[in-house]
Amino acid sequence: MAEEQNATLYRMVLPDHTCPFGVRAKQMLEQNGFEVDDRVLSSRDEVDAFKEEQGVATTPVVFIGGERVGGADDLEAYLADR
């Protein structure tokens, strides 16, 4: 049996906006058998602090096995290469 695959997803879900790329990233991970640790950034302050801490310009950000894969497009490329 394949070992369990874990991913951590940081995505923006604000009261007036849910990031569609975060939703897409979560769906791709689940469709590829990943157990998703879904870390919702629920305020603009949380989003801005996360982006500054990680040195990224956008969310979502996906980590697999402790390695930063990137956003939804990066994840799609990563999954295609597996």
Q: What average pLDDT does range 38-67 have in this prediction?
A: 96
> b/e string for 4-32 if b means 16 or more Cβ within 10 A?
eeebbbbbbbeeeeebebbebbbebbeee
- Smallest Cα–Cα separation from 35: which of 82, 2, 68? 2
What is the rounded distance in angstroms from the CA atom of residue 30 to the CA atom of residue 36? 7
Does this model's pTM top 0.85? yes
What is the rounded distance in angstroms from the CA atom of residue 53 to the CA atom of residue 58? 12
pLDDT per position as a tens digit, 5-52? 999 999 999 999 999 999 999 999 999 999 999 999 999 999 999 999
Looking at the structure of the chain, the number of domains it has is 1
| Structure tokens given for 54 | 């990680």
Question: Which domain range does residue 38 map to?
Answer: 5-80
- Looking at residue 72, which CATH number applies to its domain? 3.40.30.10
